Structure 1
Amino acid sequence: MADEIIPKEALAYLKAKGIKPGFDHRDIWRQEHNAAFTVAKMLELDILADVQEALTVALEEGQTFQQFAESLKPYLVKRGWWGEQIMEDPLTKEQKTVQLGSDAPFKNHLPHQHAHRPCCWSVGAH
C-alpha cells in the first residue's frame, strides 16, 4: 500500500536516518536534519526511536496523520511525554514550562506532505 502513497526512496530515507535528541528545534541545525530524525523536547533516545518507528510504520501502512496521532498519543501519555511540563533547557540550565505531545511537532515530520517532492528526501536536501 505504501508504494502507492509514499515513494520507496522517501521511506528508505526516513529509515536510514539516525536519531538526535534536541531541546529546541534550533539544536539540530540545517544539514543535520538530512541524517537525523528529531522531535523538539524529546530528549529520551528510546522514545525518539519509538516515534521514528511508529512514523515509518504509519507511512508504510498508508495511515492518515489523524490515525498516526491517535495511535501514538497513548504511548506518549504512558511515557510521560504529553501535556504541559517543566523541563530544564540543557543549554541555559533554565527551568521552562513546555508543551509536550501536541499535534504540531509531528505534522512537521510526517512526510505525507513532502514525500512526493524528491528535494525533501534526497541527500543534501534542506
Structure 2
Amino acid sequence: MSDAQAFAALHKLTPVQAMQYLAGRTERTLTYSWQDLWQEEHAQQFTVSRLARADLLADLQRLITEAVDGDLSRSGFELDAKQLLSRAGWWGEKHVLDPVSGERQVTRFDPARLKLIFDTNTRMAYAAGQWERIQRTKRTHPYLRYVTAADDRVRPAHRAWNGVTLPVDDHFWRSHMPPNGWRCRCRVVAVNQRDYDRGTTPGGRPMRKTAVDLGEREWVNKRTGVVERVPVGVDPGFGYNPGVARAEGVQKAASDKLAALSFDVATKLRDDLEGAP
C-alpha cells in the first residue's frame, strides 16, 4: 500500500467537516515564505509560498477542494495543477520579487512541490474535520490516543507520543494534534471510557495516560524577527490544532457580525439564541 493509500485509509470519513474547513479559508494571501502566515492564520487564509498570482492561488485551492470532496485523486490534482501552472508559465523554475526583502527569489514548481502542497493542505483539512467530529462524540469517546505509522520513518519524538491517551480537551491536543510536521503521517483515534479503563491499545500495548513532555525550543521567524516557543518534535508552524483554529475563527466572525448589528437587533438575536433548545 502506498503512502497516499495508507493516508486515505486512515482518514476515511465523510468530507463534510473537511470541506467546511476549506470553505472557511476565504482569504487568498500572496506570500513569499512559508513563515509569512503563522499557524492559526492558515485556518482563514489559503496560500502557496512564492506563487505571486491570485488567480492561480484560487485555481489550486479549487483543485484541492475537489480532491477532498472526492472528485479528484492526488494524481489527478498533480496532473491538473501541472497543466494549469504550465499554461501560466509557472511550471519549473521561476524568479519572483520578494516585496519584504526586495530580493529576487527562485521558486520551483515540480511534482515534489505539488505533492507537498497537496498533502499538507489535505491533511490539515482532514485534521480540522476530524476535530469537529471528535467534539461531537466526546460524550461517548472522551479520550484521544496518539498513533504513529509504526515504521522506521517515524520521527523519534513522534514515536515517544505513540500510545499517549488523554482527555479530548487536554491542552496537549492544542499543540500536538497531527499532523505535527511536514509529511507527518501520525493520527489520533477516539477512545471510549471502557477501553480507557482497560488501559491497553487494540494491539495489546499499555496506554500512556500522561502527556510526554519533551519541552520547548526557541525558534526565530526570520520574516518577522519574532521568537516563537515551539514544542520539541513539532515542526515550526505546525504547533497548533487546525480544528480549534477553525472553530475560534468561526466564533470570532460571528461575534464581529453581531457587533455590527444595531443594539436592538443584537439583543433580540442573543435572546433567541439563549432561548433555543
Report the TM-score range of the alignment, normalised by the length of the smaller protein. Answer: 0.7 to 0.9
Percent identical residues: 25
User: How far apart, in 2, do the equivalents of 1:7 and 1:32 lie?
Assistant: 22
Tell whether the 8 Å contact from 1:21 to 1:38 is kept in structure 2 after alignment: yes
Is this contact kept in 2: 1:40–1:105, CA < 8 A? no
Q: Count matched residues.
A: 122
- Counterpart of 1:106 (choices 118, 126, 136) is 118
Shift of residue 23, structure 1, vs aligned partner: 0.9
Q: Does 1:7 align with 2:15?
A: yes
Structure 2 residue aligned with 1:17, among 16, 25, 28? Answer: 25
Instruction: Please state whether the residue corresponding to 1:123 is helix, strand or coil.
Output: helix
Q: 1:82 aligns with which of 73, 91, 103?
A: 91
Aligned residue among 104, 117, 123 for 2:247: 123
How far is 1:13 from its partner?
1.3
Instruction: Write the distance in 1 (CA, Å) between the matches of 2:21 and 2:86.
Output: 28
| Offset at residue 22 of structure 1 (A) | 0.6
- The alpha carbon displacement at 1:61 in A equals 2.5
Offset, 1:105: 2.7
Return the alpha-carbon distance in structure 2 between the equivalents of residues 44 and 51 of structure 1: 11
Higher relative contact order (CA 8 A, sep 6+): 1
Instruction: Calculate the TM-score normalised by the size of structure 2.
Output: 0.40
Q: Name which of 71, 77, 97 aligns with 2:106.
A: 97
Q: How far has the Cα of 1:52 moved from its partner?
A: 0.8
1:7/1:105 Cα in 2 relative to 1: closer, same or farther (>3 Å)?
closer
3-state secondary structure, aligned to 1:87? strand
Off by >6 Å, runs of 4+ in structure 1: none
Aligned CA-pair RMSD? 2.3
- Do the aligned partners of residues 32 and 116 (structure 1) sit closer, same or farther apart at CA in structure 2, a change above 3 Å counting? closer
2:80 paired with 1:68: no
1:44 paired residue number: 53
Contact 2:128 2:242 in 1 (8 A): yes
Matched residue of 1:117: which SS?
helix
Equivalent position amino acid for 1:109 in 2: N
- Does 1:54 pair with 2:57? no
Aligned letter for 2:82? K
Q: Compared with structure 1, are the counterparts of its residues 81 and 107 closer, same or farther at alpha carbon in structure 2 (3 Å cutoff)?
A: farther
Alignment check: 8 A CA contact 1:17 1:37 kept: yes
Q: CA deviation at 1:31?
A: 2.0
Moved more, 52-61 or 104-113: 104-113
CA–CA distance in 1 between the matches of 2:127 and 2:92?
Answer: 28
Q: Tell me how far apart the structure 1 counterparts of residues 69 and 87 of structure 2 sit (CA, whole Å).
A: 24
